[in-house]
Amino acid sequence: MPAENMQNESFSPDEPFGYHPPWQTPINPKSLAKLDRLLASDWELPPELFSLPPITDRYWAEHVLAALARHGRLDQADKLRVELRQQGMSHLAVQQPRLIRSLHHLACTGGTLISKVIASLPSVALLSEVNPLNRNTDGFHPNNPLLLLEQGWRPLRHDQIREAFRADIDQAIRFTAEADHDLVLRDHSHSDFCRGTDPQQHVLLLSWLSPQHRFRSLRTLRHPLDSWLALVHAGWHVQFTPSTLLEYCRRQHAFLDATEAMPELHYEDFCAAPLDGLEQICDALLLPFNASALKRFGSVHLSGDSGRQAINEIILRPRRPIPDRVRAELADPASYQGLCDLCDRMGYTVGSASLQ
């Protein structure tokens, strides 16, 4: 084909490559040029482009991944890499800046169960309850020199903590990449939104890492009355002031504001249909799907495991009995209305039957 015709070649949505995609032909300058012309164009690649027919040749897979990255199609490169890993290809090139997955939820919302399932996926490494500024611990940190320095000397500045935190995450990324595993950070959002006198206005983990890394994130939700009852039962509601249901609703709104752009999964929906929920998780976080995670999650041990130890089946827990102090709050018109408004925003309903 003359050079001028190659430059003006158009791509049909039905047959962008003619009869054969480039990766169904031997690698040569002509087939590589055809791939480059397509990816350099503004033609939108359909999601199934690389799966039907699939890329079965590793050399072609590496060339396509590199070409996608070269033309700034990083999201498509990430998706293709997941498809190729589903087909059994391992240790494929990773696009830079590297994609990190993150999971966000508040305490007592079913997040540990969902995190255990994610951690049970093959080739996933999950860091549980990550928060760079959380200092609410028992003071024994023999393996954390910076926390020991703060306790024995003085508090570090945020820029100093941020520098050390980024270095630790970079190490975790390097170690997991060497093992061909995808890193998932389970954020400890409770530290950002449910401690102290005021919630944060953003997710600290993302704001500290986003300049250097790309993220695929997911938030998980649970009916706020159930999560409030669990917080009161555990005594964790006193970690913020005032320790009231209405204040908890305000903090839930702050969390929802900060994570508004994220896809979401409801804990109740996950328990009702775990297989569908796992597919939704893998699609949101770009992780290879494997249904066996639903059978293996019971053997995974994570921090924040107090409510889900020795659990080997996914079932929705019944609502806790409502103590007198919570009944008194629900009898207050402002508190009840605050709960109704929050439920409406989260996709739940509140009625007299649900409060028995």
Whether 75 is in a domain gets the answer: yes
Tell me, yes or no, whether 133 and 81 share the same domain: no
Report if residue 114 sits inside a domain: yes
Residues 220 and 77 in one domain: no
92 in any annotated domain: no
Answer yes or no: is 91 within a domain: no
Q: Domain boundary at 86, 119, 137, which?
A: 86
Q: Quick one: pLDDT at residue 194?
A: 94
> Is position 254 within any domain?
yes
* Per-residue confidence (pLDDT) for residue 87, from 0 to 100: 87
pLDDT of amino acid 3: 35
- The verdict on 237 and 310 lying in the same domain is yes
Question: Is residue 301 pLDDT above 90, yes or no?
Answer: no
Q: Do residue 159 and residue 76 come from a single domain? A: no
Tokens of 66: 């590199």
Lowest mean pLDDT among 149-158, 221-230, 266-275, 326-335: 149-158
pLDDT digit string, tens, across residues 45-69: 777 777 767 888 899 999 999 999 9
Query: Which of 21, 55, 86 is where one domain is finished?
Result: 86
154 and 68, same structural domain?
no
Q: Which domain holds residue 214?
A: 99-355
Copy the structure tokens of residue 280: 């939704």
Given 64, 86, 108, the domain boundary residue is: 86
CA distances in angstroms from 179 to 77, 92, 173, 182, listed in the order given: 20, 11, 10, 9
3-state secondary structure of 184: strand
Both 104 and 71 in a single domain? no
Q: Cβ distance 35 to 64 under 8 Å?
A: yes
Same domain (yes/no): 23, 133: no
**What domain count does the chain have?**
2
Tokens of 130: 């990550």
* Most confident stretch, 210-214, 243-247, 297-301: 243-247
DSSP codes joined into one string, 80-116: HHHHHHHTT--S----SSPEEEEEE--TTSSHHHHHH
Taking 80 as the threshold, does the pLDDT of residue 134 lie above it?
Answer: no
Contact 202, 316 (CB under 8 A): no
Classify residue 108: in a domain, yes or no. yes
Q: Give the separation between CA 298 and CA 314, rounded to whole angstroms.
A: 10
Task: CATH number of the domain at 142, please.
Answer: 3.40.50.300
- For residue 331, is pLDDT > 90? yes
Same domain? For 210 and 344 the reply is: yes
Residues 74 and 103 placed together within one structural domain of the fold: no
Q: Give the angle subtended at the CA of 156 by the CAs of 258 and 303, to the nearest 5°.
A: 55
Strands (E), 192-297: 214-221, 264-266
Q: Which residues pair with 187 in a beta bridge?
A: 130
191 and 152 assigned to the same domain: yes
| Residue 304: pLDDT band with limits 50, 70, 90 | low
In-domain check, residue 277: yes
Do residues 152 and 53 share a domain? no
pTM: 0.88
71 and 197 in one domain? no
Say if residue 114's pLDDT is above 90.
yes
Q: How far, rounded to the nearest angstrom, does the alpha carbon of residue 101 sit from its chain's CA centroid?
A: 5
